[in-house]
Amino acid sequence: MGWEPGIVSALMRLGVRLSESEEKDVFVDSITLFVTLLCGCIIIGHLLEENRWINESITALIIGLCTGGIILLISGGKYSRILEFDEELFFIYLLPPIIFNAGFQVKKKHFFRNFMTIMLFGAFGTLVSFSVISFGAKEFFEKMNIGFLDIQDYLALGAIFSATDSVCTLQVLNQDETPFLYSVVFGEGVVNDATSVVLFNAIQKFDLSQLDSKIAWQFVGHFVTLFISSTLLGMIVGLLSAYIIKKLYFGMHSTDREVALMMLMAYLSYVMAELFDLSGILTVFFCGIVMSHYTWHNITDKSQTTTKHTFATLSFIAETFIFLYVGMDALDIEKWRFVSDSPGKSVGVSTVLLSLVMLGRAAFVFPLSFLSNCTSKSKNNKIDLKQQVTIWWAGLMRGAVSMALAYNKFTRYGHTQQPGNAMMITSTITVVLFSTVVFGLLTKPLVRWLLPSSSHHSHGDSSEPSSPKSSYTLPLIAGEGDSEGRPNGNTIPRPTSLRMLLETPGNCVHYYWRKFDDAFMRPVFGGRGFGRDISGSPSSSPDEMSLH
């Protein structure tokens, strides 16, 4: 490998430099090492792509662990990480590109068709999981005589361990083969991230030591307001970007300015949400959806290709960076020193938390699937047991969001001084490492066993015209991801009977939304068929390309 000498020399320099403690040089050293490791992760990840077990997250995590070990050896057991885990770095720079790209590349057709299922799993499911973990942690930890946690800490633990990390599963699921499963796992992941962060912030803010119904209702009200206003802000910024690019750039396109404006306005939506104490994750996700529906159709072909791949690349780099960092941070000696006095207790805590994570997820995936199956009349919409297990499994991994929230709650200025807090941090690291590596290694074989790619589980897919539902659903949602285009919306048939309207209120809403979209939104904000006067091959949506 050509890059290994670079790592070794950088590490050797690092060992020398740390004793000299020249701050600026250590900074450049760290960046060099990190960039080198990122390159290594990409190359090795590419080489291992066909491997049966490993995926890119695990590669980055293991490379991070190894590097941490080497630094630990070179520095004589003093250091394992070279950059402090910085919440600011994570929430301000690394998370926004990942979530924005998620919104930008999601197959909107499937996302909105399964919107209710996604919200049920993502928002309500996370609340169930949160309750199970909080309550379970309180019961077990009090029995284990870990008495330094108060009610707020238990609730925070619930929120921390409700944040799933479905990146690993999404790398295995195929968006084309299992569109329903993909959109549910994907959508649930995003809504879940947002829900956990919002929950966590709400817990930090409210004094929940005397929980009465008034405070509970305030809490719920706060939660709902945050949810709706964050979504609205994202949509407004997205529409603004579409409007600006459509109005200003008419007949006078400039690729670099278009790309720059899209990148900056996407980021603007996130920091504005943070500024107004909203959920930046939700805001930037919906900004991504609106941008891919309107703005993306107003820019040149070159800009379309560039934005599509740039956003995916930035997201990819940020993801790799996070896993690499979590791996390097795991060996930090300072945290482990506190828990080395009571290793049994530490292992117990991690085991309890891991079991609660599995239990908490089972507590909503199977009942909600059963509920969903009962209300669904079409046989096509039923979620069979194998799919339920896949959904359950997809949310068992815990990742960077859990880490960031745990650091926020249990450390001050990056250091873990209290033994109790140190134990919570090490337990979080243990759960994250174990779930990502062990569950992650099992994901590829499990998914292949549960969902053999030969039998296409095209659940609810529009390619099955046999069901009564899809006979009119198809035209309603066509034109979003299909190649035929839809220059004017007059070809949409109206629902023909009241019975059909009552049976499928979601589709009815969708139908009127499409009418509104064609009559008002697209002419104003652009979109497919309205964006540019440049003719040529019909442009497809950014969600039509695969992620890698």
Judged by the rule CB under 8 A, the positions of this chain that interact with a second copy are: 2-3, 6, 10, 13, 24-25, 27-29, 31-32, 35-36, 38-39, 42-43, 45-47, 49, 88, 92, 240, 243-244, 248-249, 252, 254-257, 259-261, 263-265, 267-268, 271-272, 274-275, 302-303, 305-306, 308-310, 312-313, 316-317, 547-548
**Cβ(242)–Cβ(258) below 8 Å:** no
Which CB atom, from 186 or from 511, has the smaller least distance to a second copy? 186
The distance of closest approach from Cβ of residue 384 to a second copy in the complex, given in angstroms and rounded to an integer, is: 33
Q: Which residue has the tokens 């499937």?
A: 110
Residue with tokens 């309107």: 294
Specify the residue, 173 or 422, whose C-beta has the smaller distance to a second copy. Answer: 173
- Of 387, 330, 442, which Cα lies nearest the Cα of 62? 330
As a residue count, the chain comes to 548
Question: What is the end-to-end Cα distance of the chain in Å, rounded?
Answer: 23
Q: Rounded distance, CA 60 to CA 324, Å?
A: 5
Q: Which is nearer to a second copy, 11 or 157 (CB)?
A: 11
Nearer to a second copy, 42 or 172 (CB): 42
Residue 502 beta carbon to a second copy: minimum distance, rounded to whole angstroms? 41
Instruction: Indicate the residue among 36 and 80 with the shorter CB distance to a second copy.
Output: 36
CB of 313 to a second copy, least distance (A): 4
Amino acid at residue number 329: D
Task: Please report, for residues 124, 143, 195, 392, the alpha-carbon distance to residue 328 in angstroms, rounded to integers and kept in the order given.
Answer: 34, 33, 28, 29
Q: Compare residues 258 and 480 and give the one whose CB is closer to a second copy.
A: 258
In angstroms, the CA 236 to CA 223 distance is 20
Q: How far is residue 425 from each of residues 142, 160, 326, 363, 405, measured CA to CA in Å?
A: 18, 11, 12, 25, 10
Of the two residues 260 and 371, which places its CB atom closer to a second copy in the complex? 260
Least CB distance to a second copy at residue 243 (A):
7
Q: Cβ 103 to a second copy, closest distance in Å?
A: 17
Instruction: State the nearest-atom distance from the C-beta of 87 to a second copy, in Å.
Output: 9
Token pair listed for 204: 């930090």
User: For a second copy, which is the closer residue by CB, 6 or 475?
Assistant: 6
In whole angstroms, the minimum distance from the beta carbon of 39 to a second copy comes to: 5
Question: What distance separates the 2 farthest-apart alpha carbons in the chain?
Answer: 79
Per DSSP, 73 falls in state H
| 412 phi and psi angles, rounded to 5 deg | -125, 120
Query: How far is 262 from 254, CA to CA, in rounded Å?
Result: 12
Name the CA dihedral angle for 371, 395, 346, 352, rounded to a multiple of 10 degrees: 20
Name the minimum Å distance from CB 35 to a second copy: 5
**Complex with a second copy: residue 97 or 179, whichever CB lies closer:** 97
Whether 470 and 398 have beta carbons less than 8 Å apart is answered as no
User: Which has the closest alpha carbon to 423: 162, 165, 197, 137?
Assistant: 137
Q: How far is the CB of 199 from a second copy (least distance, A)?
A: 20
CB atoms within 10 A of CB 24: 7
